[in-house]
A and B are shown apart, each in its own frame.
Chain A
Amino acid sequence: MASVKLTKVKKVYDNKVVAVHDFDLDIKDKEFVVFVGPSGCGKSTTLRMVAGLEEISDGTIEIDGEVVNDLQPKDRGIAMVFQNYALYPHMTVYDNIAFSLRLQKMPEDQIYERVTNAAEILGITDYLMRKPRALSGGQRQRVAIGRAMVRESKVFLMDEPLSNLDAKLRNQMRAEIILLRQKLNTTFIYVTHDQTEAMTLGDRIVIMKDGYIMQVGTPTEVFERPANLFVAEFIGAPKMNIMKTELLKENGKYYVKPFGVKLPVDGEKGELLAKKNVPAGEILLGARPEHIRLAKPGETSIPVTLEVNEMMGSELHLHVYTEDGTRLIVRVPTIDLTAAERENLVQGHKLNITFEGKVMHFFDEENQTNLIY
């Protein structure tokens, strides 16, 4: 069990490309932190620097209070699960899991006990004498996790461990990782490009872009209070609708005017705008697909035309476009519509939509930061 502290960590490759810029993060003991971001954002590089597989160009990394910049991976007290499992193909599952313990010269009876314990937790006892090639993707990933588990390390590093699995298996393994985390009760650093994984697994999420941290926060924080436009669009599926609009201030009350329709900004958001005294002007308005709804008759609304209707089971994702051609996604619970209404939702169908003022997001047009957080 250990804390991990990264201070001004920087990675510059030989070709002068800066992969990670001044990365500052304090990971508490037993915390599950997820690094998430698009390809090339530096999340894996940062994890590999913590592991000692990548040299640090500048800054310090501390594990349990000890600076580990110059320590070999084996001396850092970490265990790591790789994206492609990285199982040793010429060894059986048992030998794969026992490999690190044998290098430590642990007595065979203790090795046997640890390996069989891990295998039991992961449900791979029946496969211990098989070679990795005789296992399915999910079983291989369990072996990889088992190999990391038996080391009883202070920090558990996972580099996109579910990326190579199919969607069904990924969901199953995600749940297993949550259970495993409860059993191991150690510090986890998990890298993924999948925001669903990040949201479901992490105590805190570190969202990265081009080597910079965009925001660090709990899943609720980054979802409800995105620090900038990038985070707002990256977190949440389908992604947040962004539209250029005017922010109006009349008698101390705020309004937005998307597509020429004046809508009030209600509740907490309105109060926060007033508290920050945000000036009126051009802004970028963000509305998540679930915060746009079909307007009731007589309600102030925006006319749109349906382009694509994606039936997701419990909900519909309606891809619509406004009169000026702006494309939006609206998420409608299936239960809110009658069967006849659902059948009407075909390409070209005219609809009226409105925004929930309470949950709108307001971003500065120039620097794309959130205007109220």
Chain B
Amino acid sequence: MKNETAPAGSLKRHMGLKASNTISNTIIYILLVIMSIVWLIPFICIVLQSFRVESTWQVGYVIPKQWGWKNYIDLWHTDFKKWYLNTLIIALVTAVIQTVIVLCMSYTLSRFRFKLRKPLMQFMLILGMFPGMLTMIILYRVLKDLGLTQANAVPGLILVYVASSGMGYYVSKGFFDTIPKSLDEAARVDGATRAQVLYKIILPLAKPIVIYTILTAFMAPWGDFVFARYISFGTSAGMNVAVGMYNWLNLDQIGQCYTRFCAGGVIVAIPVTILFMCLQKYYVEGVTGGAVKG
């Protein structure tokens, strides 16, 4: 008798567990779908508005009555090209230099043991807690003295973004720490120099963190507004897209520029979206990989 009831009870418990799992999963998925829709609505609106050609100001409906490419074509008759190019140059150069600095810094702190290593790491951690905005005034003064503001804001901004990049070593150092040191040692015995160990052994193994570093290094200047506005200071030639397009939202311009602003937003979002779609696997691995031992 006991033998018959025991499996039946266990089956019942199993079924109950399965049902409760299904319910909780359903609730989670419904919530996720709602959140996705909420997040997507602004993007969809911007894309739709960018194709509206019957008027250029803000309207009370989302789906255009007349569709066309006019807003996109108009973009190229403004300074948008210049701003876009500025942004691209700043983001690309920053991404390259910052990635090199961050990876070298992380490798050094992960693999080398030297005096003041720990105090240096602690110092950078504490320094990183202060918001970058605090340095804005002095940075502006320094850049102005160097002639790197307004029309020359592009190299100035690159300098600002790259200057403190070594401090962003934490995530990639955490990732490097998870790679066994015996691999470095084996490579050194095999005849590799420290630099060869880094680019032939460590970096191929740290692909997710390298991509994560490149993406974050690219994203920060690509979307920056505050520093870019401060340093370009009203000179269109030195502006990035965020600052330039922001001017279209001024009260005196918004009536003529709103749909063009939406088209510009779409163009700005395209490279970042493509980058993330292609590299999201590595990006997630990079974030979680670094987090394990970070």
Which residues of the other chain, A, contact B186 by a CB distance below 8 angstroms? 80, 82, 86-88, 147
- Tell whether B219 is near chain A: CB-to-CB under 8 Å: no
Which residues of the other chain, A, contact B191 by a CB distance below 8 angstroms? 74, 100, 103-104
> Smallest distance from the beta carbon of A191 to chain B beta carbons, Å?
14
- Tell whether A7 is near chain B: CB-to-CB under 8 Å: no
Interface string of A53-80 (1 = CB under 8 A from B): 1000000000000000000111000111
Task: Using CB atoms, name the residue of chain B closest to A100.
Answer: B190
- Tell whether A151 is near chain B: CB-to-CB under 8 Å: yes
* Stretch of B100-108, B138-146, B177-185 with 4 or more beta carbons under 8 angstroms from chain A: B177-185
Considering the complex, which residues of chain A in the window 258-272 have a beta carbon less than 8 Å from any beta carbon of chain B? none
CB-based contact B190/A147 at 8 Å? yes
CB < 8 Å: which of B113, B185, B196, B205 contacts A90? Answer: B205
Q: Could you tell me the distance between the alpha carbons of A104 and B188 in the complex, rounded to whole angstroms?
A: 13
CB-based contact A103/B183 at 8 Å? no
> Smallest distance from the beta carbon of A56 to chain B beta carbons, Å?
16
CB-based contact A82/B185 at 8 Å? yes
> Smallest distance from the beta carbon of B282 to chain A beta carbons, Å?
14
- Tell whether B187 is near chain A: CB-to-CB under 8 Å: yes
Q: Could you tell me the distance between the alpha carbons of A147 and B183 in the complex, rounded to whole angstroms?
A: 13
Contact residue range for chain A?
20 to 34
- Tell whether A149 is near chain B: CB-to-CB under 8 Å: no
CB-based contact A73/B189 at 8 Å? yes
* B contact residues, total (Cβ < 8 Å): 17
Q: Could you tell me the distance between the alpha carbons of A72 and B197 in the complex, rounded to whole angstroms?
A: 14
CB-based contact A74/B185 at 8 Å? no
With contacts A80-B186, A82-B182, A84-B180 taken as known, whether A89 is within 8 angstroms of B205 at the C-beta atoms is: yes
Q: Could you tell me the distance between the alpha carbons of A51 and B192 in the complex, rounded to whole angstroms?
A: 14
Task: Using CB atoms, name the residue of chain B closest to A51.
Answer: B189
- Tell whether B271 is near chain A: CB-to-CB under 8 Å: no
CB-based contact A103/B188 at 8 Å? no
CB-based contact B185/A103 at 8 Å? no
Q: Could you tell me the distance between the alpha carbons of A79 and B191 in the complex, rounded to whole angstroms?
A: 10
CB-based contact A88/B183 at 8 Å? yes
CB-based contact B187/A53 at 8 Å? no
- Tell whether A230 is near chain B: CB-to-CB under 8 Å: no
Which residues of the other chain, B, contact A80 by a CB distance below 8 angstroms? 185-186, 189
- For B113, B180, B191, B205, which residue has the most chain A Cβ atoms within 10 angstroms? B191
With contacts A103-B191, A103-B192 taken as known, whether A86 is within 8 angstroms of B180 at the C-beta atoms is: yes
> Smallest distance from the beta carbon of B193 to chain A beta carbons, Å?
8
> Smallest distance from the beta carbon of B203 to chain A beta carbons, Å?
10
CB-based contact A72/B192 at 8 Å? no
> Smallest distance from the beta carbon of A97 to chain B beta carbons, Å?
10
Q: Could you tell me the distance between the alpha carbons of A53 and B187 in the complex, rounded to whole angstroms?
A: 11
CB-based contact B182/A73 at 8 Å? no
CB-based contact B189/A78 at 8 Å? yes
Which residues of the other chain, B, contact A83 by a CB distance below 8 angstroms? 182
> Smallest distance from the beta carbon of B176 to chain A beta carbons, Å?
14
Q: Could you tell me the distance between the alpha carbons of A52 and B191 in the complex, rounded to whole angstroms?
A: 12
CB-based contact A53/B188 at 8 Å? yes
> Smallest distance from the beta carbon of B227 to chain A beta carbons, Å?
38
- Tell whether A23 is near chain B: CB-to-CB under 8 Å: no
> Smallest distance from the beta carbon of A15 to chain B beta carbons, Å?
12
Which residues of the other chain, B, contact A78 by a CB distance below 8 angstroms? 189
- Tell whether A99 is near chain B: CB-to-CB under 8 Å: yes
> Smallest distance from the beta carbon of A226 to chain B beta carbons, Å?
34
Which residues of the other chain, A, contact B183 by a CB distance below 8 angstroms? 86, 88
> Which B residues have a C-beta under 8 Å from some C-beta of A?
113, 180, 182-183, 185-192, 196, 200-201, 204-205
16 residue pairs A–B, Cβ–Cβ below 8 Å: A52-B188, A72-B188, A73-B188, A74-B188, A74-B189, A80-B185, A82-B182, A82-B186, A84-B182, A86-B180, A86-B182, A88-B187, A103-B191, A103-B192, A147-B186, A151-B190
> Which A residues have a C-beta under 8 Å from some C-beta of B?
14, 51-53, 72-74, 78-80, 82-84, 86-90, 99-100, 103-104, 147, 151
